[in-house]
Amino acid sequence: MSVTLDSPIVASAVTITDRAAAELIDLKNGQNRPDSALRIWVAGGGCSGLQYGMALDDDRDAEDQEFTHNGVKIWIDSLSLGYMEGAIVDYVDDVLGGGFKIENPNATASCGCGSSFKTEGSSGCGGGCGCSR
């Protein structure tokens, strides 16, 4: 079976691409943290009203949902998962370098910086990153 680097790996309500999984494994190994998980969360703030956060984490909270794919554990709290159902975590290269990006089908508007978003019924898009709808 052949898998391309851009195909998503299904993680229930959230997916992670092969490229992002490979980058995360390299990051974990480079930091000598092979058992760490990728924690993803949504918090208030940012240019559009909500913002994403991602970090390697070693301590799972009791309310976290856990997904494991291609050697990458993903922890997402239930509240954040509600905002991110159907989202795809990818790794992209651009002029400024590489980084992780979340494509969220629940976002009705997003900031130019890519880390802030708004959903139906939430307020936002008043910041300086250039909101797009």
Q: Where are the domains of the chain?
A: 8-119
pLDDT digits (tens, 9 = 90+) for 63-79: 899 888 777 899 999 88
pTM of the complete model:
0.70
Of the two residues 106 and 116, the one the predictor is more confident about is 106
pLDDT at 123 over 60: no
Identity at 118, one-letter amino acid code: K
Nearest-angstrom CA–CA distance, 124 and 25: 34
The CATH label, of 2.30.30.30, 3.30.300.10, 3.10.20.30, 2.60.300.12, for the domain at 8-119 is 2.60.300.12
The pLDDT, as a whole number, for residue 58 is 96
Q: Cα–Cα distance between 56 and 31 in angstroms, integer?
A: 10
d(CA 93, CA 114): 13
Is 65 strand, coil or helix?
A: strand
φ, ψ for residue 84 (rounded to 5)?
-115, 10
